[in-house]
Amino acid sequence: MLMAAGEIRKECVYLDRIIFHVDVNSAFLSWEAARRVQNGEEDIRLIPSAIGGDREKRTGVILAKSIPAKRYNIKTGEPVAMALRKCPQLYLAKPDFVLYERSSKAFMDICRKYSPVVEKYSIDECFLDMSGTMHLYPDYYAIAIQIKNEIRDTLGFTVNIGIGPNKLLAKMASDFEKPDKIHTLFLDELKDKLWPMPVGELFLVGYATSERLRKANITTIGELAGTDLGRIQALVGVKFGIQIHEYANGIDDTPVLDRPDPPKGYSNSITLEEDVKTIESANRILLALSDSVASRMRADNVKAFCISVTIRDNNFKDKSRQTKLHEPTDITSEIYEISRRLFSEVWDRKTPLRLLGVSLSDLATENYEQQSLFFAQDRVREEKLDRTIDNLRQKFGIDTITRGSLYQSNTNVGKKYKAQLKNKAQDDH
């Protein structure tokens, strides 16, 4: 049941486990709007507006949009040129990742005032484990209202809060009607709230999986929940079948972790607005991706033994190739050269490509020594270069310095690679 802001459920009682999912409404745009309002400027949340791209050159993609922009059917991830055709008066603001990190920390600091365990799920969402806090907060719905309102009144932007007995249901609940709302989703509410929803709305069920289920006449989450597990596994695989069947039935025992598990690997991929048709274009992409994943890995002080490259052609067929190294690496130039070799082995140079990805796995934290003194000295020089570039970017921004061969031509695609480098948090797993 949807509650109006300020309304309190008097009948609330604590269950064994209570999880909150706090999700910033249209985060990048909200954070930019809040800063402008604080400076006495117009609130861009009230007009058709978006974050991302270059209006004059009509390049880039939409990263976030206002509710008025949504009425023009503008979608996150679509090219700026397409958005401007739908809404010529669309106001575009450039991304500011320093602002985003600062705003993210600010709202999560407020959340940590209310719960001993807060897990950062992404830059604009987190989980709070409220279990066992009933003596401090007798009414969990009332305290959710308090958290929501404190974030709004203190920081100038709104959040949705989902409440449930586990992380899955709390997250699903927070995606109900927006903005500035609180929703619950408990097991006794599945029939009315979750099961009527399209199966593609279930967490982790993407387009391809939903289409496969739809063709098997499984169109709602409730139908998925009631379908024999063996049939689902035959459609989507054994492990994934178990997972989405449990999710459809509201089952999830994942703990809320105040410190996330260390990543098992680092990856970055990019889906291109224009198909890649030449080895030169592909190499520029591979350098951008290698630079991105390597810098994130260096920030965590780990190295990788395994490098893999993935491609998807314009027929949506995926191929990948990987190699194991004798010595782990975090050096951009090494990762790039190996990625180029793997790419040359996996691409036929005939079929245009729409996606490229680079992944690093089999991680090591120890310091390994090379046997060859000459090669060791060469690696030390490359490592110093990488660290210098990382430090400059951290201090002055990602645009401060770029790898020379990456931007030899001033192409639209090259600019998108630069935007890709800014998204350091993407695709960690």
CA distance 127 to 121: 7
Indicate if the pLDDT at residue 247 is higher than 60: yes
Could you tell me the residue range of the domain that residue 57 belongs to?
Answer: 1-191
pLDDT tens profile 170-219: 999 999 998 999 999 999 999 999 999 999 999 999 888 999 999 999 99
User: Beta strand 91-93 with 49-51: parallel, antiparallel or unpaired?
Assistant: parallel
Same domain, 64 and 105: yes
* Half-sphere exposure for 183 (CA within 13 Å, toward CB): 23
Same domain, 410 and 314: yes
Residue 257 lies in a domain: no
Of the residues 170, 191, 212, the one at which a domain ends: 191
Q: What is the pLDDT at residue 405?
A: 46
CA distance 382 to 41: 46
- Indicate the average pLDDT of the chain: 83
Q: How confident is the model at residue 253 (pLDDT cuts 50, 70, 90)?
A: very high
Indicate if the pLDDT at residue 424 is higher than 60: no
Indicate if the pLDDT at residue 392 is higher than 70: no
Catalytic residues: 125
Same domain, 186 and 199: no
Region 226-231: mean pLDDT is 96
Among residues of the chain, what percentage have pLDDT more than 70? Answer: 79
**Long-range CB contact pairs, 109-116, < 8 A, 24+:** 110/147, 110/150, 110/151, 110/154, 110/155, 111/22, 111/147, 114/143, 114/146, 114/147, 115/20, 116/258
Same domain, 338 and 232: no
Distances (CA, A) of 171 to 161, 162, 186, 414: 8, 6, 12, 35
Residue 259 lies in a domain: no
Residue 427 lies in a domain: no
Same domain, 311 and 207: no
Residue 253 lies in a domain: no
Same domain, 12 and 40: yes
Q: What is the CATH number of the domain that holds 81?
A: 3.30.70.270
* Half-sphere exposure for 62 (CA within 13 Å, toward CB): 26
pLDDT tens profile 273-323: 678 888 888 998 899 899 888 888 888 888 999 999 999 887 778 899 999
Residue 342 lies in a domain: yes
CA distance 308 to 321: 6
Residue 254 lies in a domain: no
DSSP for 5-63, please give it: TT---TT----S--EEEEEETTHHHHHHHHHHHHTT---GGGSSEEESSBTTTTBSB--
Same domain, 277 and 241: no
Of the residues 191, 216, 231, the one at which a domain ends: 191
Residue 396 lies in a domain: yes
Same domain, 127 and 236: no
Same domain, 91 and 134: yes
Of the residues 191, 219, 234, the one at which a domain ends: 191
Same domain, 330 and 274: yes
Q: What is the CATH number of the domain that holds 380?
A: 3.30.1490.100
Contact present, 262 and 429 (Cβ < 8 Å): no
CA distance 234 to 214: 14
Q: Which of 82-91, 274-283, 380-389 has the highest mean pLDDT?
A: 82-91
CA distance 321 to 344: 10
- Domain tally for the chain? 3
pTM: 0.66
Same domain, 162 and 23: yes
Q: Name the burial class of residue 38, with classes exposed (0-12), middle (13-18) and buried (19+) by CB atoms within 10 angstroms of its CB.
A: exposed
Indicate if the pLDDT at residue 416 is higher than 60: no
DSSP for residue 300 = T
Same domain, 184 and 205: no
Residue 176 lies in a domain: yes
Q: What is the CATH number of the domain that holds 234?
A: 1.10.150.20
